[in-house]
Structure 1
Amino acid sequence: MRDVKIWSEEFGAATDPPILLIMGSMSQGILWPDEFVDYLVAGGRRVIRYDHRDTGMSDTIDFAAKPYTWDDITNDVYRVLDTHGVESAHLVGHSAGGLLAQLIAVEHPERVRSLTVIGSSPLGGGEGRVLMRALLGEPQSPGSLPEPAPEFVSFYRTLMAAPPPADRRARIDGMVAEQRVLHGTGLPFDENAARDLQERIYDRAHDLSAAANHRLAAAARPDFEPAGVLHRVQAPTLVVEGSHEPVKPGHGAMIAEQIPGARLTIVAGMGHTLPAEVHEELAAAVLAHTAE
């Protein structure tokens, strides 16, 4: 599906080492904060961020007419690199974007200068099954990944049973409430900043509801994530997890254990989002990692 148009933008000098920022499932590229990007550019990096298909300003798809899988979403990453003339880049992935970055590091190591994984789960670990069982109140399989925090489970159970929002304001109120849960309990929650961000996300989306197609894409190819392959990652790897991660607590350590030579960094107070308090620390860690 190369006819799908993907929105992207880049910052910094074209001669600087490139960093590709890969955001999580159903998430727009602007969730990589401008201030975080500015720190990376000031540190001498060329930074690229983009909207996944069915999010933001990238094309929305009639999934019933033209179904796709996460293989296509992965191929969009290569298309972004190619369009910007980048043969290899430092990959920085958040949440499901971290899964994509891990997969690319396994399957096409020649395109990965280094790997940074933030708030993610180990490739092939069955994260989706763990989340669904937690939401449905079903017992987890022996040896499964750690469950999300109780407040995360409670919020999404309520959300699944609630009627759809009636208008823009109600939708944005719900988006802010969701961000509050994802933010975690380790740092104060800046509701004004959260509302500004969610209004921006709402207003720049062609169709906000189209992001749900990512779930359909995952269901269409449930074996998308190969298991037992992280030992094949050759790129220097930095794994970052917040001390108050509500979605994937402890998953970062499991990634670091499986990738040879990987380093784990715990960011104090951070949950599953990237609030202003951690921008400088997070950027410094990425700059140091990508300089090696």
Structure 2
Amino acid sequence: MTQSLAGRERTVPSGDLTLWAEEFGDPEHPTVLLVMGAQAQGTQWNDGIVRRLVEGGRRVVRYDHRDTGQSSTVEYATRPYTVADMASDALAVLDAFEVERAHLVGASLGGIIAQRLAVTHPRRVLTLTSLSSQPLGTDTAALVQRALTGLPPLPGALPPPTPELLSTLATTLPGPESSLSDHIAARLPLWRVLHGPVLPFHEDEYRAMERRVHERARNLRAGINHTLAGAAREELTTGDLARVTAPTLVLHGTQDPMFPPAHAEATAAAIPRARLVMVEGMGHTLPAALDGRLAHEILRQTADADT
């Protein structure tokens, strides 16, 4: 039987907020900072990925964004924030662990945060891995709005999320006082669509993940604020990715319904010397069946830049 993964938890200050974080591996080893996506907790980075990275000689840190898990929640109406503020939270985590330079691995919105830091704080970034994400500066809200109103994408624009995903997103938000069983029942249809149609869907895996999310959350609905933060005006553009100097891996699923493969291609094209790896059959989730493949790619990406 696989032993449970033992991490070292701590609370990290970020301004007047506190962020939950967890560290694994030898503190003397190169650090990989795992940055999750919108409305997602740090523990949604699978233990299987973390274990493989540690076994590969990496110190791994994962954390809960503001408004998720055990981190502080914010009243967005009176205290709005942006993706830039969420990027500052990631730097606060690195500072708390006394990490001067780290390998950044960001999934979905976490990929945008990691890209942003590679532009604005290049000295803090050893390597960049943008996973299941899109180019910095993409106006996703505009893409979605056009799709919802039946308008085709503008010429040269990236494709919106699939119609099936947009329809499912509108109907799978659990109520504020949902029981655990109701919460899981509401979320499973979304995970089925995000997972994609090719790889086997193991319902028990997603049930266990949502059970842990439900148990850890201070406020399950606070993560909706990430959507508002992502829609706030971003002063950086995709063109700014030309300033990225960190070795970059763009890692993406061929069946991603949130950010179809053209988003990965555009990200890789915008970053000098970026390497694009498409994972056959993967959607917009990180199923345990892909732990080994994803960890292998991250270890390969971080190996040459170890310091």
Q: Which residue of 2 aligns with 1:100?
A: 113
Q: Does 1:267 align with 2:279?
A: yes
Q: Does 1:245 align with 2:256?
A: yes
Q: What whole-Å deviation, never above 9, does each CA across 1:47-67 have from its counterpart, x for those lacking one?
A: 000000000000111223333
Q: Which residue of 2 aligns with 1:130?
A: 143
Q: Which residue of 2 aligns with 1:39?
A: 52
Q: What whole-Å deviation, never above 9, does each CA across 1:54-91 have from its counterpart, x for those lacking one?
A: 00000111223333222221110110000010011000
- Identify which of 63, 72, 80 aligns with 2:76: 63
Q: Which residue of 2 aligns with 1:288?
A: 300
Q: Does 1:210 align with 2:222?
A: yes
Contact 1:165-1:171 within 8 A present in 2 as well = no
Q: Does 1:195 align with 2:207?
A: yes
SS at match of 2:221: helix
1:148 shift after superposition = 1.9
Contact 1:218-1:224 within 8 A present in 2 as well = no
Q: Which residue of 2 aligns with 1:276?
A: 288
1:164 shift after superposition = 7.0
**Hey, what's the Cα distance between the residues in 1 that align with 2:211 and 2:104?**
28
SS at match of 1:146: coil
Relative to structure 1, the CA distance from residue 105 to residue 225 in structure 2 (aligned partners, 3 Å threshold; closer, same or farther) is same
- Identify which of 243, 267, 271 aligns with 1:232: 243
Unmatched segments (≥5 aa) in structure 2: 1-13
- Identify which of 174, 179, 198 aligns with 2:186: 174
Moved more, 128-137 or 76-85: 128-137
**Hey, what's the Cα distance between the residues in 2 that align with 1:209 and 1:235?**
35
1:244 shift after superposition = 1.1
1:129 shift after superposition = 2.1
SS at match of 2:193: helix
**Hey, what's the Cα distance between the residues in 2 that align with 1:34 and 1:9?**
12
- Identify which of 7, 14, 17 aligns with 1:4: 17
**What is the TM-score of this pair, normalised by structure 1?**
0.94
Moved more, 270-279 or 58-67: 58-67
Unmatched segments (≥5 aa) in structure 1: none
Q: What whole-Å deviation, never above 9, does each CA across 1:166-215 have from its counterpart, x for those lacking one?
A: 53321221122211111111101100111011010011000001111122
- Identify which of 158, 164, 167 aligns with 1:154: 167
**Hey, what's the Cα distance between the residues in 2 that align with 1:114 and 1:209?**
33
1:11 shift after superposition = 0.3
Q: How many residues get paired?
A: 290
**Hey, what's the Cα distance between the residues in 2 that align with 1:157 and 1:135?**
11
The one-letter amino acid of 1:178's match is L
- Identify which of 9, 33, 56 aligns with 1:20: 33
Contact 2:70-2:216 within 8 A present in 1 as well = yes
SS at match of 2:135: coil
The one-letter amino acid of 2:243's match is R
Identity of matched residues, %: 47
Moved more, 223-232 or 266-275: 223-232
Moved more, 66-75 or 175-184: 66-75
Relative to structure 1, the CA distance from residue 249 to residue 76 in structure 2 (aligned partners, 3 Å threshold; closer, same or farther) is same
1:159 shift after superposition = 4.4
**Hey, what's the Cα distance between the residues in 2 that align with 1:166 and 1:123?**
34
SS at match of 1:282: helix
Contact 2:194-2:258 within 8 A present in 1 as well = yes
Contact 1:71-1:224 within 8 A present in 2 as well = no
1:165 shift after superposition = 7.4
Q: What whole-Å deviation, never above 9, does each CA across 1:18-66 have from its counterpart, x for those lacking one?
A: 0000011111111110001000000000000000000000011122333
Relative to structure 1, the CA distance from residue 210 to residue 241 in structure 2 (aligned partners, 3 Å threshold; closer, same or farther) is same
**Hey, what's the Cα distance between the residues in 1 that align with 2:45 and 2:288?**
11
- Identify which of 66, 73, 85 aligns with 1:72: 85
Q: What whole-Å deviation, never above 9, does each CA across 1:137-165 have from its counterpart, x for those lacking one?
A: 333222111122232123124448x9777
**Hey, what's the Cα distance between the residues in 1 that align with 2:250 and 2:31?**
19
Q: Does 1:91 align with 2:104?
A: yes
**Hey, what's the Cα distance between the residues in 2 that align with 1:186 and 1:224?**
37
The CA RMSD over aligned residues, in Å, is: 1.8
